[in-house]
Every structure is written in structure tokens, then in C-alpha cells.
Structure 1
């Protein structure tokens, strides 16, 4: 016992001595505007102790010597900073000033993947902007709420958390990607309107021509969501609670063994909301809530939404290796997601459901591989594949529709009883993507990119009520997309060009049950017939950027591109969207131009100005209309033969150090019916020719004002306040030139204000924030008078462990 005690104290003494002998200093290296500086070198002068910052500007330096010692921070393009540490300080932040006398260097070899991608974006000829999502980490917002503040972007939602939405960039349907993978392949539980901001590093918004490496049928624009990935250990957890019994939680983390480079990364989120916000009657806008009194419908002033609950959950884990001779990254992953969405309304407020909902469970194994110098020097390979399997149930157990008081409408007023609906959908999907990029020289003056993208969807539906009717009939959709692009840099990289050609292939197949059944469910006639079609198209694009002077330049791009219809557009979703087998792919000839200017004044002030314009001729333009089906209002995709779109957007940003930020943007987006004749004889002129396409916003903008201050109340803290305003000009729901002015339905002008207050302490480790959305309780609408939530309050707690 005495020997054991003696040994324990000796061991404790040795460990304590070692702890004193070795100190770990951590902190951030940022510029004057609070932006992390990646790959800055932090070292102890006169020793071998040194390290580099990661994408956030974070560093961790182990020091073997005792204080005092001189800490030095260097980075290309910044003035070196030295500081003498006299005590046992274990946390130190740095802010570096720009060195105007040093030319910016582009060191291709040895760059991190993030540096390489950001550098490509800045040098490319594409009209692209980047949203740094880390500045929104303390907000309770989802990705779509941040994204819709970008110029040229419209996201039209049907309601509150988890509602359906339509996403467009400059008026055309745009594609959404997660780490370069089309989001359609992540199942119904993964969507813009439920991805927490904590899981995302940055968002790349492409307007007009889309790079070939994204490898999909993006038309007129795309969004690439880059999730958080670090080489260091980290863990970020958050939880928020707010109005309408809304709960949101998220987790993102990573661990890498420094010896064998075995890495584990995980993402997870959970969302829940009753969506029980108030709806209001607005007769001048055609929004009328009703209840039944004496067998008659009478309007009521307001009502709470009911039976509109939504929840979703996702968990993802990836295990793999980094920095090996045969792979820069190799990961195998598994994703599981589930959601449950009650569906109170169809396409309008006219029909109120009581027992309609959709639930799904989705599982997806994945494999990914990345390698610089793959097989030969300067060849980069990015290979990815997944298999997804989704099981969804669409049910409606209510026998009646409901009035806005929550009571069922009985058949005393002629309301017919409805049969129960229960349809099961099994969907199997495969995505295989291969992207290769070859640089002809070290300076990357000439590069060639080849991308192939294969996606398949096989859906089978089972009618659980009438098993003899549609059970097991398949709906198939296969897309083949091949892109080849050449990028070159001339005139000392002042001029950058990108020329690409792309092939689109669409293969669809469905089976339709045309059998007739007798009283005993025996087949008395008809048959199950199959329909198939294959469509192939070739598109091309050109994008160019010319840097006129150091801080500014122009961009020009043109393309012919196609947008293939989705599964829901062709086959419906079994709930709110009807099928349309005859729908055609959308084609557009686009021209986009822009001017940008970014500069610093006196090191403390930053100004960014971007202005862009576009002109597009679309054929078979995809739009959405309301169709009455079985006495219910539903959506359906359809083609408008010809549409002319034109407009532009601007964005102005100002920053003073990391204290004041201001951003203002506005967009003008006009769509005109460009199909003159109604038939091939060219005799009958269409009544809508030359007039604006209805039911789409065309003037909108955003304002964001922020103020922040460090070290209030405690050292290592940061207080931040933001005020945001979203503006949408009124627009007609129906053709503006038909009917009398008094009879026209329209969505009113909207001005929605929100306020955020956040406080971080212990060097951003602990965070708390409060948010008030739609402070003045503005009536907010997007689609067919479907009102969105009014005033709401949220609080969020976040812990970031490094």
C-alpha cells in the first residue's frame, strides 16, 4: 500500500512537471474585419515550435519552453506581428493588417482543399458570390432563410418550418448541391428549409453559367452548400426554442488521429414545430377564412393553424483516411433521415385538411475519394457514389374537410364523405459522379475538366386501401449528364475564360393500370400498360472575367442549358402535386454580364459593389399552376411554350473593421410571355403574348445592418446586434391584363423586419442569442395567398469545443 501511494505521488509529480514544461497556446488569426486567415504561420521565435492556422484562422501551438517567449505570426500579404508573452497565457488572438507592398501570391502546390476551391471561385469567369455561414452560426435560421437574402434569389414557401418551397435564381429553376452532390439525392428529410446554419461553412451562389464540375442539369444558376470539414478536432452543438413550439438542435464534429490519419466526422440535426401561427382574413387580397354557421360559410377575422406539425431528423457519420500516398481523402459514410409532415392546406386556403400527413424514412450509404496528382502529375480526381432507399407513407384518415375553427364540416351542407387514403411509396436511387481536372502547367493557365453524373430513381407505389388498383406500379427516371470544360488564363491572369459543352440524357418509364374490376375484384377488362421515352440534348456555355484594375473587373457569360423535370414534376408526390407525364425539359439561352469592385480604405474600411444583368429566352418554361382534383386544390407543373426574362441585381457592402457591417441589395426580375401564336398555323395570336407571367415576384431586396464589439462585460467576449429587412413588391396572381382591375387577385407588398442579439464568451466557446422575426407582424405571403408565420421569438444556445 505504501509503495502504491509512493508510486502514485511520483507519477503525479512527473505529470505535473511535464504539464508545466509543455504549454498549449490556442487562438485565432484574423484580418481587421474579423475574417479568419488560413495557413498563417504561428511560431515561437528561436525555437522549432510552429503551426499553421486552419480555414477558420484557428491555431494550436505546443510550447516546450517556459515564458517569457516571443510569439510571431506571419502570412503572405499581411504585416508580420510579434508579441511577448510574459505569463502563462494559453489563449491569444491576432489581427493582421494588409501589407499593400506585397503582391498577392498564388501557391497552388500545398494548398488546402478549401484554399484551392475559394481561389478557383475568385479567379473564375463565373458570376458567383460566396456567403460565409460562420457569421450566422448563432442564428436560429435555416439555410433557406439566409440564402433568400442574396440578390437574385427567390425562395417561395407554402408556410412555416418544413413547408414545400420553390427555389429560383434570376427567375429560372436552379439546382441545389451539398458538397457538389445534388440535394435531390439526399432524400425528403434533407432540405434547405431544415438544414441548420451550424452545419454549413459557406454557400456558393452561381448566377447564369454553372461550372461543369457540379455535373447536373442546372439552368440559369446553382447553389453549392459546403458543409463544415476540418483537419483538427472540433465539436459544435446548438439548441434553440421559439414560437409555435419550435425546437431545433444540431451537432457537427470531427476527430482525426494525428498518427494514422484515421478520421471520423459526424453531422446531425433535429427540427420540430407545431406551426400553429395565426392566419388572418384579408378580403382585399382574396384571403378569407371561414367557418360554418347555420349550414352556411361565414368569414372569420383570424384563426390558428392546426394539424400542421412538422418534424425531421438526420444523422450522418463518415469514417475514412486523410493525407495518404494513395488518397487525400477516402471516406465511407452512412446517412439516416426521417421526417413527418402534417399537411393542413393544399395549394390554397380554400380547402382545409384535418388528417392528411406524410412521413418518410431514408437511409443512404456513401463512398467518396479525392486525390491530387491522381495517376499523373496535376490530375485531380473526385469520385463519389451513393445508394438511397426511401419509404414514404401518404395518409388521410379524415372523412371530412375542416373549417378554420378546427371542426369537421359535416355533410349537412352538402359535403360528401371522403374515403381514407393510404399510399406507400418505395424509392430506390443511385448517384454516381466522377470529376477529373487536369492542369497543363503549374500556373494553371490551361485546365481541362471532365465530369460524368448518373442518377437513377425507381419509385413504386402501393395503394394500401385498394390493393388491386395501383400496387407496385413503377415510376422510373434516369439522368445522364456529361460535361467537358476548358479553362484558360491570359494576360498575366487578368483574363480568365471557361468554355464548356454538356450532354443531357433523360430516360423515363411508367406503368399505368387500365384494368377494369368486377364486384369481386376480378379483372373483367383492360390491362397494365407501360410508357417510356428518352430525350437527349446538347448544351454549351462560355464564361469570361477580365480584371480591369486591381480592385475591379467585368464578367460575361452565355449558355444554352437544360433543366430536366424532377420526379415530382413528372409523377407527382401523391399529396400536393399532381403528375404530368407530358411535361418537357426546360431550355434557356442565357446572357449574363456584371461588374464588381472591391477595395479597402485606410485599412479599416471595406467596400464591395456588384451589379449584374441578364437576358434569357426560355422554351418550355417550367411553371406551377393550381388545379382542382377531387374537389381539392393542388399544384401541377406545366410548360409555358416561350418566355422572355430580363432584369438585373445589385449588392453594396460596407465594413468598418469587425465592428460595423452594412449590406443592401435589390433585384428586378421580369418574365414576359414570348409565345405569339396559339397553334402552328400562326393565325391566332395568344391573349397573353407580350404580357408578364403571373404569380411570381419581380422586384425584391434586402437590408442587413450589423454592429459588434469585443470584450464587453468580460475579456474574450463578443456582443453582436443585427437588423434585417426583406422587401417584396406586390404581384398579380392571375394575368394582369385580363378582367377588371377590381377583380384581379394579387399578393401585397411586404416589408418584413427582424432583429438578432447575440453574446459569445470564453473566446467563442459559449454563445447565446435571441431573435425576433417579423417584428411588426407583417402579413407575409409567397404562394397563392398561403400566409407565412407572423411575429415570432427564438432563443438559441451554442457550444463550440475545439
Structure 2
């Protein structure tokens, strides 16, 4: 713990540990923790502007070592302190990959969600089909959907179940988020094609902690989270736990050409502005792990368990044309896991991480009411010529989204991951990564046809991705090179019985196929001049279709497509980083990344705009080529005022000229339909200390997000009245106040203050103006 002469905690203190060559900064509450180090004697140095430098010799034993430091103020006020070495974020961004590390040091105290922070990252577009709990799609440089893989501490998020997602994980449980654009390092080993998002959770092992937060706001939205860590110093026994609960009515206003009511007698349409009325969402989860940390034989050996659940109303189908008033979905997930980490496995040069989990997901869909609803929330009534009510209109299919169903699906997911690294001297490293994922789904529906109700209906999918990487540092660490090779394998098996045409007989549909493929690439960074860095990366890779794309998902109105082929792409990035430059109290940094993505058999959700189908499916959509660039600029004055901005252009063009019959596509070289191609963000943040109370901290920040209008369908189709998704400007404002000692933080947030109509997928409207408040309480 770091404190000043008055006993107040000191945040932002630069610390170095020699000869281990580690450099870190202290946390807002004055705490700090170095990565696991070997036992022995070290020199600990601490620097903070306006304080006298401190040097102290410490002894690290087999157990964790705790050190309290007091920095005295320096009357001369040091003008500049230079700390050699790189932070974790800088080290990651300088490897050669087109990546951005998003820290949550201050944002975790606000009501801003993780998806909001990602949406402000250059080159990243978060596309959500509604409010809290709705389906999210990630777009990075023109590639989207499941081409973007999501990881939690390097583990695929699929293992955690749908209710444990980036939109549900509270920001105060997260250390940082790593965003990889295009080329993904071999350590993640997944079959990401367009990029990856790796969420690093907070793990405090230097002290015991317990904290909680509560946020509430518009649309009756409530979010609770808590986390704690206990570690017995002598034995290394460690227990970690966290939990969350989210709920929202999502009853925000919607309007537009898909939101209307119909007169029951004349059939006339009236466009309305009305709240969503059937879109409540509830989710919660508990994550508990226990084991040993910080020992000679292992850095970590933990056994964990997760339970999560959600239930939500389903407001509409694939578009907002079809509005529902009764359809619901329920899910529950149980997971057990085992993890092992050791940075000196058998020798100081050999590291090993291993993880295994088994999860069970139960999903139920309830759709048994046939009533037809309007956007006013009322059932459509039938009247005779005299105006007498005769009853209600009903779907002839018997339910809102098709035939009546009480389908119960059981999904089992097995995940195993092993990452081993071996260093040869100071400049060479080999990495081997294995990632296995097995998926099995069984379904039953008591309302299905009697002839097939009890017959086998099982789906299997297995994936194995093997990665081998080599890292080289040379020329006094000015040159960093990473090369990798990946081998992909997938097997798919479907055994189902279904009714033949005319419902006259039961027929067997048995699919059994496999995929073997490989990919390779490299990443390179070269420090041309001090603080002038050139970066490039390239790969030839593919991504395998995921179970929900192959097998469908009734809760999301998805039909199966068993014939989906892998999506393939050749990716190239070229970037430039300038800075960080420091001139007195001024800091500045500039980053540029350009890219090309040449993609074949792109897997896309096939929403048909010319009909009223309730369901859709994923298809292979020929080829696309995407070219563009990202620009990031950052300026800080006295670490009190931060200004940052980003611009992203990702122009994705349809690149198949002729179909299989030889006919030319009318939309050849058109921009990809329903996909934004120009976005920008501007952010300003101001920090003030000692407002109202000494040692308090106040942070005021604002963000403006801009999305250029884009066509809903191909731009070559139709006349002058083409359907577009309009230009969107979203203004957010956040104010946070940390009381002295950082035990209590209060925050208020205003989102979409201009109440702009915000769309994403096929004009599915997102929430308008909203306000939230949040309290964080760190008990110890």
C-alpha cells in the first residue's frame, strides 16, 4: 500500500522492481501488485511527481510479500520523472498486431457498459438488436458476427453460457479489454477471422478485497455486482467470488416505418410512437473459484463453478414488422472448470497454462398463444359491420412465430485449452496452443408431432484448433517478429427425424461431415526512430461455423443450415504509432492502421427484406473485399484534461461478379448492405481533485459517436426512394465522484442525450435518451 505523509492513499505512483525489470503504477486506492516473481532479494523504487523518490530493499519469500510505503512531499517539486520500461498495455500494442488495449481504470466506476466502451474503439462497431440483454454482433474493420471471437482470460466465451456475456459482465470486474483487428496471436488459438476481443478479469492476489456496486436508471433498469478475494498468506489458499444481477423492462420508445397499428375495420395503417411493451430481461450469475496461488510449484491451481440464468420476453421477429406479445425464452447454465498456471514450469524458461470446463445449458421457448398484436400493445380485435366485437385475430399457424412450441433444448459444451511457451535465450520463444470445443444439443417438444416426439433429435459439433508460434526480438528490441501456423478441424453430425412433404411419413435426416484446413501469418513491429513504430501483420485463415449458425436457435428465430461452409479470408494490416510524446505537462499520441480483408464464403444472417418471414438463417454469401483505415489521436494536459478522437472507414464491397449460372450480379462492387462504413468518436475527460473534500477525485467525461447513413439493401437496387439507415449522432455524459480513501464512488450517466433514433441490424431500434446512477462501495 502506498500512502503520503498524511496517510492518504497515493494513486499513479510509478514503481519498478529490479533486477526483475518490472514497471507498474499504483491503483486509485494506493494498492499495487507485481506479477509473480521468484523468491529472492529485490530493489523496489517508487516515483511520484511532487514527492521524494523512494528506494527500498525487499525480500520475496515463497508466500506473497506485502509492503507498505510512505512517500514524502518534495518542496522542490520534481519537474520530470522518467520511468524506463513499458506498461502491459504498451507492450501488447507494440507487438506488431493491429490491436487496441482498453483500460477500465476509471470507467469501471460508472454505469457505462463494456459494449459501450468497445463501440468507442476505432475500427469496432457494436451492433445490438435492442436494449439490455438483446443479441449483440461485433464488427471489426468490415468483418462481423462470429468472425469476431470473444474470450474471457483467453477462454472462449461460449463455455460460459449465453447469460454470461459482455453485455452482462459488470465493468468493475474487468481489468482491461484487448481488441485485435484482423490477425489474432497464436496464444488465443481460436478460429477468429476478423479479429478477437479478449476480456481480462481483475485478479487481486496481493490483498483481500470485498466490493459491491449497484446501478439503476431508465426503463426500470437495475444492475448489481459484487466481488471478493481471500488469500491465506502462508498456505496460498485463495478463494475468489463474484456475482451479478441485471434486469430491465426495455420499454423505450420506438417509431418509424415498421412501427404502426392497423384499423380493424378499414385496414388503414397509422404510424405510432410507442413504448416497447413485451421486452423485459432478467439475468444473473455467480462465479466461485478456490485453490492455491503464488507457490513454488504453481502460480495458480483453481477449481471453479459458475451458475447463470436469464429469462426474457421476445418483442419481435427478425424485423420489427412482426410484433409479439406472448413469446418468451428461458435459459440456465451450470459450469465446472479447472485451471492451472505456472510461469516457470519445470524450468524458468518454460511456462504452461491449462484450462478445462464442462457446461450444461437448458433453454426453453414458450410460444403457444396465437393472438396477433399491434404496436400499441393490444391484441387485434375483429368487428362486424355494425361495430360489434367478434373476437380477436389469430395466426393460422397457431403461435406468434410459427407452430406452437414448448421446446426444451439441452446443450453440453466441453472446452479444453493448453498454452505452453518456451524461451530460447533472451530473444526467441516458441508457443504451442491447443483449443478443443465439443458441443452436443438434444431437443424435445411436447407440442411436436406425435410420430417424432420421442425419436432421436441430436446435434454434434467438435472443433480442434492447434497453433504453433515463434517470437523473435532483435536489434536491441527495436524489431519484434511473430510468426504462426494454425490447423483447424471440425466435425458435424446431425441425426434428426422430421415429417416429409405433406406430413405423410417420418424421414431420417443424417448429416455427417468434417473439415480439415490450415492457416498461417505473421506480425512485425520495428522502431524506426525513438517513439516512431511501424507495424504490419498478415494472415491467411478461416473460421468454422458455430453451432447456432449450423443448428439454428428457436429463441432467436433462427433456422438451421447444415450445409454451411467455413468462411475464409486473407488479411493485411499496416500501421504507424507516434508517441507517447511528453513536453512538460503535455502528452500526445497518434496511431494509424490501414487494412485489406479479402473474404470468401462470408457467413451472414440472411434477413430477406422483401417478405414477412418470421425466421431467417445463416448463409455463405460469396465474397467481399474490405479496405479502410483507423485513426486514433490522444492528447493530455497535466493528466487532468484528456482529449481523444478516432475515425474508422471500413468499406466492404461485394466482390463476386457472376453467380453459378453465369449471370452477373446487379450489386457487384456495391457496398455491403446493412453495414456502416464510416464511424467516428470524440471523447473529453476532465479530472479534478479535492472538490468538496480533500483527497476526493471528480471525473467528468463526454463522448460523441457518429455513424454515417448507410443503405439497408444493395445500393444498386431500387430507385430514388431507397431505404436507408439514417445518420446517427449519440451524445453521452458521465460524472463520477470518488470520496477520500476510494471506498465509495458515486456516478451519474446520461446516454443518447439528443434522443437520436439509433438503429443497427435491419432497422432494429435501440434505446433513446436514458439516465443512470451507480454507487460503488469497496468494503476492504
TM-score for the superposition, normalised by structure 2: 0.88
1:514-557 deviation digits (Å, cap 9, x = unpaired)? 35699xxxx97444332111011110011100011221211011
Look up the match of 1:701: 680
Question: 2:656 matched to 1:675?
Answer: yes
The 5 A counterparts of 1:178-257 are: 178-231=152-205, 232-257=207-232
| Pair 1:464 & 2:441 matched | no
* Distance (whole Å) between structure 2 residues aligned to residue 410 and residue 359 of structure 1: 29
Corresponding position of 1:163: 134
Match of 1:403 in 2: 374
Instruction: Return the match for 2:116 from 134, 137, 145.
Output: 145
Once the two structures are superposed, what CA deviation does each residue of 1:684-721 show, in whole Å capped at 9, x if it has no partner?
A: 22222122111100001111111110011001211111
Aligned residues of 1:484 and 1:500 also touching (Cα < 8 A): yes
CA distance in 2, matches of 1:293, 1:517: 35
Moved more, 453-462 or 596-605: 596-605
**2:99 paired residue number:** 128
Deviation of the 1:748 alpha carbon: 0.1
SS at match of 1:499: strand
1:448 and 2:430 correspond? yes
Out of 261, 271, 279, which is 1:300 matched to? 271
Contact map agreement 2:53 2:71 (CA 8 A) in 1:
no
- Indicate the residue corresponding to 1:371 in structure 2: 342
Instruction: Report matched runs for 1:625-774 at 5 Å.
Output: 625-627=606-608, 632-679=613-660, 683-742=662-721, 744-774=722-752
Q: In the alignment, what sits opposite 1:792?
A: 770
In the alignment, is residue 485 of structure 1 matched against residue 469 of structure 2?
Answer: yes
Kept in 2, the 8 Å contact 1:39–1:57? The answer is no
SS of aligned partner of 1:332? strand
Residue 531 of structure 1: which of 511, 523, 527 is its match?
511
Is 1:550–2:519 an aligned residue pair? no
The equivalent of 1:355 in structure 2 is: 326
Give the CA deviation at 1:416.
Answer: 3.1
The answer as to whether partners of 1:754 and 1:771 remain within 8 angstroms in 2 is yes
Contact map agreement 2:11 2:26 (CA 8 A) in 1: no
Cα distance change on mapping 1:95 and 1:530 into 2, 3 Å: farther
Tell me how far 1:741 sits from its aligned partner. 1.4
Q: Give the Cα separation in 2 of the matches to 1:370 and 1:379.
A: 11
Alignment partner, residue 559 of structure 1: 539
Query: Is 1:276 equivalent to 2:260 in the alignment?
Result: no
Q: How many residues align?
A: 729
Alpha-carbon separation, structure 2, partners of 1:239 and 1:287? 36
Q: Is the 8 A contact 1:238 1:796 kept in 2?
A: yes
- The 1:101/1:249 distance shift into structure 2, 3 A limit, reads closer
Distance 1:496 1:287, change over 3 A: same
Matched residue of 1:362: which SS?
A: strand
1:416 pairs with 2:395: yes
2:758–2:767 contact (8 Å) kept in structure 1? yes
**Shift of residue 288, structure 1, vs aligned partner:** 3.7
TM-aligned CA distance change 1:345 to 1:323, over 3 Å: same
Once the two structures are TM-superposed, the CA of residue 360 in structure 1 deviates from its matched residue by 0.6
Give the stretch that moved more between structures: 754-763 or 493-502.
754-763
Matched position secondary structure for 1:296: coil
TM-superposed CA distance for 1:738, in Å, is 1.4
Match of 1:384 in 2: 355
Residues 423 and 687 of structure 1: CA distance in aligned 2, closer, same or farther (over 3 Å): same
Contact 1:344 1:353 in 2 (8 A): yes
Deviation of the 1:642 alpha carbon: 1.2
Q: Is 1:628–1:634's contact at 8 Å kept on the other side of the alignment?
A: no
Give CA deviations for 1:10-53 in whole Å, capped at 9, x if unaligned. Answer: xxxxxxxxxxxxx996723415xxxxx45579xxxxxxxxxx98
Check whether the contact 2:93–2:101 (CA below 8 A) recurs between aligned residues: no
1:497-508 pair list within 5 angstroms: 497-508=481-492
Instruction: Rate the CA distance shift 1:415–1:179 in 2: closer, same or farther, 3 A.
Output: same
1:496 aligns with 2:470: no
Worse-superposed segment, 303-312 or 164-173: 164-173
Deviations 1:304-354 (A, max 9, x none): 101100011010011011121211111000000000111111111110011
CA spacing shift, 1:663–1:163, aligned 2, 3 Å: same
Report the Cα distance in structure 1 between the residues aligned to 2:349 and 2:616, rounded to whole angstroms: 49
Instruction: Supply the distance in 2 between the matched residues of 1:337 and 1:720 (Cα, whole angstroms).
Output: 33
Aligned with 1:397: secondary structure?
A: coil
Partner residue of 1:5? none
- Separation in 1 of the partners of 2:268 and 2:242? 49
Match of 1:30 among 1, 5, 12: 12
Q: CA deviation at 1:208?
A: 1.9
CA distance in 1: counterparts of 2:118 and 2:72, whole angstroms: 31
Q: Which has the larger radius of gyration?
A: 1
Deviations 1:481-500 (CA, angstroms, capped at 9, x unpaired): 00000010111111111110
Per-residue deviation, 1:60: 6.4
Instruction: Pick closer, same or farther for the CA change 1:105–1:616 going to 2, 3 Å.
Output: closer
Change (3 A) 1:261 1:414: closer
The alpha-carbon distance between structure 1 residues 103 and 776, as it changes in their structure 2 partners (threshold 3 A), is closer
Matches within 5 A, 1:49-64: 56=27
Tell me how far 1:79 sits from its aligned partner.
Answer: 9.6
- d(CA) in 2 for partners of 1:672, 1:431: 36
Q: Which residue of 2 aligns with 1:435?
A: 419
Partners of 1:148 and 1:247 in 2: CA distance: 22
1:144 deviates by: 0.8
- 1:194/1:256 Cα in 2 relative to 1: closer, same or farther (>3 Å)? same
The structure 2 residue matched to 1:590, chosen from 553, 571, 585, is 571
Cα deviations across residues 46-86 of structure 1 (Å, max 9, x unaligned)? xxxxxx9886375569xxxxxxxxxx982489997259xxx
788-797 or 509-518, which deviates more: 509-518
The separation in 1 between residues aligned to 2:259 and 2:464, in whole angstroms, is 46
Deviations 1:159-183 (A, max 9, x none): 1000012112111131110000011
Shift of 1:633: 3.0
| 1:788 counterpart SS class | coil
Tell me which moved more, 619-628 or 483-492.
619-628
Q: Is the 8 A contact 1:29 1:40 kept in 2?
A: no
2:187 match: secondary structure: helix
CA positional deviation for 1:376: 3.0
1:73-113 CA distances to partner (integer Å, 9 max, x unpaired)?
82489997259xxxxxx99788999997967358xxxxxxx
State the partner residue of 2:600: 619
Higher mean C-alpha deviation, range 360-369 or range 120-129: 120-129
CA distance in 2: counterparts of 1:267 and 1:55, whole angstroms: 23
What is the distance in 1 between the residues matched to 2:609 and 2:648? 33
1:603: how far off? 3.7
Mark the CA change 1:248 to 1:263 in structure 2 (over 3 Å): closer, same or farther. same
